Amino acid sequence: MLIDILISACLVISGIFGLVGSFGLIKLPDPMMRLHAPTKATTLGVGGALIASMLYFYFVVGNFSFHELMITLFLFLTAPITGHFIAKTHLHLLHKPADLPPTGTARPWASYESDAERQRIEAEQAAENPRA
Amino acid sequence: MIEYALYFAFACFGLGLLMNIYRVISAPAVGDRILALDTMVVNAIALLALYGIHKGTTVYFEASMIIAMTGFISTVSYTRFLLRGDIIE
């Protein structure tokens, strides 16, 4: 009985989080804000569904499976990477380098620096302090 | 009780999937479209996990694992293409 309540709570919470994540994708006004909703809320939602599945197969059916853990781990590892890449795409397509806040150094933000410029600056730094 | 919670979760993720399709069709910028497609992949994985509970089999986990990998690779390659104009440099 207790395990039924636990599985049902996991399922309901995961459903609400998944719905909130997908709704935020429509509702929020700014592209960077819209990045927020799916990468956090929906990841938590799918994590809840997979935990409910793991509990169900262990306690109700009676065989433990590692697949859910693998899928959860994979999703939790890849969600920040995709979020980072989509944020970079937003930066490049919607903002000009002059609009961004200053970096505090002579170099621009990393994604705007060209390969030749980066190699030149890194060679200069290596020449200045050879031990580092 | 698990049945009703399962139906509720099915409804939530299905509605989320419909919202994502709407966002893919009417996206203000191309970054939003990529984000909506990535969220669709995550919602599809959740639906497959729920369907596995509903049917009582673990067969669907391999499918959701493959969908997770394909979704990650496709999102990264799409954004790489927009950032650099090339996928493998």
Q: Mind listing the pLDDT tens digit for each residue in B21-80? A: 999 998 888 888 999 999 999 999 999 989 988 988 888 888 988 999 999 999 999 888
Q: Is pLDDT larger for residue B62 or for residue A96?
A: B62
**Would you say residue B51 lies in a domain?**
yes
Picking from A1, A19, A33, A88 by the largest number of B CB atoms within 10 A of its own CB, the best residue to mutate is A19
Of A8, A15, A70, the CB nearest to B13: A15
Record the pTM. 0.83
Interface test with A, best of B17, B23, B34, B53 (most A CBs within 10 A): B53
Distance between CA A92 and CA A15 in Å, rounded? 34
A91 with A111, same domain: the answer is: no
Q: Are residues A115 and A89 in the same domain?
A: no
ipTM for the assembly: 0.85
> What pLDDT, in 10s, does the model give residues A30-71?
888 888 888 888 888 888 888 888 888 888 888 887 888 888
List, for residues A20-33, the tens digit of each pLDDT value: 999 988 888 888 88
Q: What is the pLDDT, as a whole number, of residue A94? A: 78
- Model confidence at B17: pLDDT above 80: yes
> What is the C-alpha separation between B7 and A88, in angstroms, rounded?
38
Considering the domain boundaries, does residue B89 fall inside one? no
Provide the number of structural domains found in chain A: 2
Q: Which range marks the domain in which residue A8 is found? A: 2-95
Interface of A with B in 49-78 (CB under 8 A): 49-50, 52-53, 56-57, 60-61, 63, 65, 67-68, 70-71, 74-75, 78
Flag whether residue B46 sits within 8 Å of chain A, measured between CB atoms: yes
Whether the CB of B65 is below 8 Å from some CB of chain A: the reply is yes
Q: Report the number of distinct structural domains present in chain B.
A: 1
Q: How many whole angstroms separate alpha carbon B89 and alpha carbon B46?
A: 34
Q: Which pairs with CB-CB distance under 8 Å and at least 24 residues apart come from A67-73? A: A67/B58, A67/B61, A67/B62, A67/B65, A68/B49, A68/B61, A70/B65, A71/B45, A71/B49, A71/B61, A71/B64, A71/B65, A71/B68, A72/A46, A72/A47
User: For chain B, first and last CA: distance in Å?
Assistant: 53
Q: Examine the domain organization and report whether A85 and A102 are in the same domain.
A: no
Give a yes or no: residue B69 inside a domain. Answer: yes
Residue A132 has what pLDDT?
A: 55
Q: Identify from A10, A27, A53 which residue to disrupt to test chain B contact, counting B C-beta atoms within 10 A and taking the largest count.
A: A53
Q: Are A68 and B42 an interchain contact pair (Cβ–Cβ within 8 Å)?
A: no
What is the three-class DSSP state of A105?
coil
Same domain flag for A91 and A119: no
* Shared-domain flag, residues A55 and A71: yes
Whether residue B35 lies within 8 A of chain A, CB to CB, comes out as yes
Tokens 């980072």 label which residue?
Answer: A84
